[in-house]
């Protein structure tokens, strides 16, 4: 999970340095790199590329495409910290969807933690002038579909190899984003090509390690490590992009992290009751 956090953090920085490339095109290039790397790994391990539980593999792929496209758009238009924080609501939606998809039950106190996290989002919206209702909405859409994707990953833990699970994202994203990008195409120039390749490689490494982490260990033990990325994001904003944070915005970010992490810790340490 730590490897995943580092790779995702640098990937976010790369996306931020490509504001002139449409988000759909970024997803396309990320998918092209990922599909090549995934096929090489699948062949080396002698796996079936199309997997076993195709329904949930497709759901994981489609949900991932929607989540990543929405996130890339918000990442380009907002400081990295708030954009990442809103997307980090995904464990809340993961827990809610798990009630229906994985037949898990939630403790009453978890709803209090959810309220703390959403109150934090309200503070970010109220005191960060870069966070419009549109960007906030897209960030929440990203979190919702990330929650669906994470449940699909857990649903697939006994039927499909992590590499196959990762492969379904570019398998679905590549044709869809190739068509969409035709209408908004911007030709990369110079160092753009290197950054696009780096983005794809970093995301592949991050996705593979994240998938392994969620499949081999309880979510509550590994997911909190993901929130180290918030501190890294704020550091990037301040040191590289000259972003100044209102104290209330920082309080809102902290509330989101605390609410989500407490939810995951309680979920993993106690028998769930409703």
Residue 195 CA to residue 215 CA, distance in Å, equals 30
Q: Which two tokens stand for residue 238?
A: 């301040």
Sign of CA dihedral 107, 121, 73, 201: negative
pTM of the entire predicted model: 0.84
Each residue's pLDDT, cut to its tens digit, for the chain (274 residues) gives 889 988 989 999 999 999 999 999 999 998 998 899 889 989 999 988 898 999 999 999 999 999 999 999 999 998 999 998 898 888 888 888 888 888 877 778 888 988 999 999 988 887 777 778 899 999 999 999 999 998 998 889 888 888 899 899 999 999 999 999 999 899 999 999 999 999 988 988 887 888 788 777 776 667 677 778 888 899 999 998 888 888 998 999 999 988 888 877 776 554 433 3
- Torsion angle, alpha carbons of 266, 270, 272, 273, to 10: -100
Per-domain residue ranges for the chain? 2-269
Q: Which two tokens stand for residue 205?
A: 């490494």
DSSP SS3 for 241: coil
Q: Which residues contact 130 (CB under 8 A, 6 or more apart)?
A: 77, 78, 79, 82
């Amino acid at each position: 999970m730590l490897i995943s956090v580092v790779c995702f953090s640098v990937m976010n920085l790369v996306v931020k340095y490509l504001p002139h490339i449409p988000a759909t095109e970024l997803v396309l290039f990320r998918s092209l790199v990922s599909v090549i790397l995934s096929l090489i790994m699948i062949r080396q391990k002698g796996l079936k590329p199309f997997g076993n539980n195709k329904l949930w593999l497709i759901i994981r792929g489609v949900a991932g495409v929607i989540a990543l496209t929405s996130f890339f758009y918000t990442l380009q238009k907002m400081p990295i910290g708030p954009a990442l924080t809103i997307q980090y609501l995904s464990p809340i939606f993961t827990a809610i969807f798990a009630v229906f998809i994985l037949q898990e039950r939630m403790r009453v106190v978890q709803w209090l933690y959810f309220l703390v996290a959403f109150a934090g989002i309200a503070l970010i919206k109220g005191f960060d002038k870069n966070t419009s209702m549109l960007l906030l909405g897209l960030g929440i859409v990203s979190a919702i579909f990330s929650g669906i994707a994470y449940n699909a990953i857990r649903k697939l833990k006994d039927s499909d190899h992590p590499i196959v699970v990762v492969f379904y994202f570019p398998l679905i994203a590549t044709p869809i984003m190739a068509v969409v990008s035709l209408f908004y195409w911007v030709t990369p120039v110079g160092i753009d090509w290197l950054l696009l390749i780096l983005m794809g490689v970093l995301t592949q490494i991050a996705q593979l390690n994240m998938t392994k982490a969620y499949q081999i260990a309880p979510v509550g033990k590994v997911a909190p490590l993901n929130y180290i990325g918030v501190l890294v994001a704020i550091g990037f904003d301040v040191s590289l992009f000259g972003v100044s944070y209102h104290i209330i915005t920082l309080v809102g970010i902290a509330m989101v992290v605390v609410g989500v992490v407490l939810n995951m810790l309680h979920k993993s340490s106690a028998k769930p009751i409703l």
